[in-house]
Amino acid sequence: MKLSRSVALGVLTALAVPAIAAAHPAVYTSQQYVLRPGDTCRITDAVANDACITDNQRTTYAVGNDGFAMAFTEGTIANPVGATSETNGAPAGRGMINYRFLPGTWRGTATPANRELWLAYGPAQTELQPHATCLEAAWDTPANILAWQEDPFYDYIPWQKTAVGIGDEPAKWIAVVKNVTGVDLTTLNTAAEFEAACEAPAVGGTYYAADASSKITSALEKQITDPLQSQITTLQTSLTTLQGQKAAVDAQLAAALAPKPRALALTLSAKKFDQGVAMVTGNPGTTVTVRARLSAATAKKLKIARTISSKKATINADGAALVNLGLTAKAAKAIDKHRPSLKVTIDAVGGGVTKTATGTLTR
CATH number of the structural domain 265-361: 2.60.40.1940
Q: Would the pLDDT of 76 be above 50? A: no
Q: In the prediction, which pLDDT does 75 show?
A: 63
Q: In the prediction, which pLDDT does 362 show?
A: 86
Domain boundaries, the chain: 5-216, 265-361
Within 8 A by CB and 6+ apart from 97, the residues are: 25, 118, 119, 124, 125, 126, 152, 153, 154, 155
Cα 77 to Cα 286: distance, rounded to the nearest angstrom: 84
Cα 360 to Cα 139: distance, rounded to the nearest angstrom: 104
Least confident segment among 104-113, 215-224, 305-314, 327-336: 215-224
212-241, pLDDT tens digit by residue?
Answer: 888 887 788 788 888 899 899 999 999 999
Q: Would the pLDDT of 277 be above 90? A: yes
12-38: burial string, b at 16+ Cβ within 10 Å, e else: bebbeeeebbeebbbbbbbebebebee
Q: Would the pLDDT of 42 be above 90? A: no
Share of the chain above pLDDT 70, in %: 90
Looking at per-residue pLDDT, the higher value among 212 and 10 belongs to 212
157-196, pLDDT tens digit by residue?
Answer: 999 999 999 999 999 999 999 999 999 999 999 999 999 9
59-93: burial string, b at 16+ Cβ within 10 Å, e else: bbbbbbbeebbbbbbbbeebeeeeebebbbebbee
C-beta of residue 32 within 8 angstroms of C-beta of residue 8: no
Cα 149 to Cα 268: distance, rounded to the nearest angstrom: 88
79-89, pLDDT tens digit by residue?
Answer: 333 334 456 78
Task: Classify strands 212-214 and 68-73 as parallel, antiparallel or unpaired.
Answer: antiparallel
pTM of the full structure: 0.58
Q: In the prediction, which pLDDT does 205 show?
A: 97
C-beta of residue 70 within 8 angstroms of C-beta of residue 164: yes
C-beta of residue 155 within 8 angstroms of C-beta of residue 145: yes
321-360, pLDDT tens digit by residue?
Answer: 999 999 888 988 888 887 678 899 999 999 999 999 999 9
Q: Would the pLDDT of 4 be above 60? A: no
Q: In the prediction, which pLDDT does 264 show?
A: 94
Share of the chain above pLDDT 90, in %: 60
